[in-house]
């Protein structure tokens, strides 16, 4: 995959030790890194620290960037891993606090692990009784959804990642992500047919 001219020049400057390149890296990607981190850590201070860590890691590891994917995709993967590491540390430091969101995890090969119960989607329905039934059905439906479809649904529809960000995290092509996401949503709709009249499973 060919980098655009701006990213190509930025990579070359970082590899060359250009001190101004780090500032340009921050100006180009800092806001997006922090926004992505915020979706996971749910705290501005933590998101800012994650963003700073990511920028430092990108600078230190730039020689490891092979250029076979977009620079942004490589940065998003680093951001995801850094945010997950911080969430694990915070869990040990704040054992009494519940995890703010479900965080999909991956094994050493990059394959998604079986995930725990999803966060409460009860706000998708208005009626109190329907909310309880809907949540129970969603939990069961997501448990039975194959991980290859479940993780894209979680990343896009729960965490709100863009197609580019989610495909970068999963290390798959955007078109593959879209295909799996579409299939996962269809399966969920079939399993939740009783609620179809008042339910939208994903953001437009």
Q: What is the pLDDT of residues 26-75, one digit of tens each?
A: 999 999 999 999 988 888 999 999 999 999 999 999 999 988 888 998 99
Measure the N-to-C terminal CA separation of the chain; round to a whole number of Å.
29
How far is CA 38 from its chain centroid? Answer: 10
Residue with tokens 């990607």: 29
**Quick one: pLDDT at residue 94?**
54
How far is CA 30 from its chain centroid? Answer: 16
How far is the C-alpha of 168 from the C-alpha of 158, rounded, in Å?
Answer: 17
Instruction: Say which residues have a Cβ less than 8 Å from residue 167's Cβ, sequence separation at least 6.
Output: 73, 173, 174, 176, 177
How far is the C-alpha of 201 from the C-alpha of 183, rounded, in Å?
Answer: 13
Query: Per-residue pLDDT tens for 136-181?
Result: 777 788 888 888 998 898 888 877 888 888 888 888 899 999 999 9
- 54 token code pair: 């990511």
How far is the C-alpha of 54 from the C-alpha of 58, rounded, in Å?
Answer: 6
- 174 token code pair: 């955007």
How far is the C-alpha of 86 from the C-alpha of 50, rounded, in Å?
Answer: 8
Mean pLDDT of 110-138: 54
Give the mean pLDDT of the chain. Answer: 78
How far is the C-alpha of 100 from the C-alpha of 90, rounded, in Å?
Answer: 11
3-state secondary structure of 154: helix
Residue with tokens 């490589």: 74
**Quick one: pLDDT at residue 100?**
44
Segment among 98-107, 153-162, 188-197 with least mean pLDDT: 98-107
């Amino acid at each position: 995959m060919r980098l655009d001219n701006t990213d190509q020049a930025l990579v070359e400057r970082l590899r060359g030790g250009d001190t101004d390149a780090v500032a340009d890296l921050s100006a180009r990607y800092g806001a997006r890194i922090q926004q992505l981190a915020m979706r996971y850590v749910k705290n501005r201070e933590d998101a800012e620290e994650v963003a700073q860590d990511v920028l430092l890691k990108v600078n230190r590891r730039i020689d490891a960037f092979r250029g076979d994917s977009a620079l942004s995709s490589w940065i998003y993967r680093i951001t995801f891993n850094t945010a997950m590491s911080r969430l694990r540390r915070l869990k040990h430091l704040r054992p009494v606090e519940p995890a703010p969101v479900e965080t999909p995890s991956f094994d050493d090969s990059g394959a998604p692990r079986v995930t725990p119960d999803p966060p409460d989607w009860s706000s998708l329905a208005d009626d109190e009784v329907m909310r309880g039934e809907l949540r129970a059905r969603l939990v069961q439906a997501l448990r039975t959804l194959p991980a290859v479809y479940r993780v894209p649904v979680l990343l896009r529809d729960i965490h709100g990642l863009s197609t580019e960000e989610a495909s970068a995290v999963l290390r798959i092509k955007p078109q593959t992500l879209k295909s799996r996401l579409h299939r996962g949503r269809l399966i969920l709709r079939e399993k939740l047919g009783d609620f179809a009249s008042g339910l939208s499973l994903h953001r437009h």
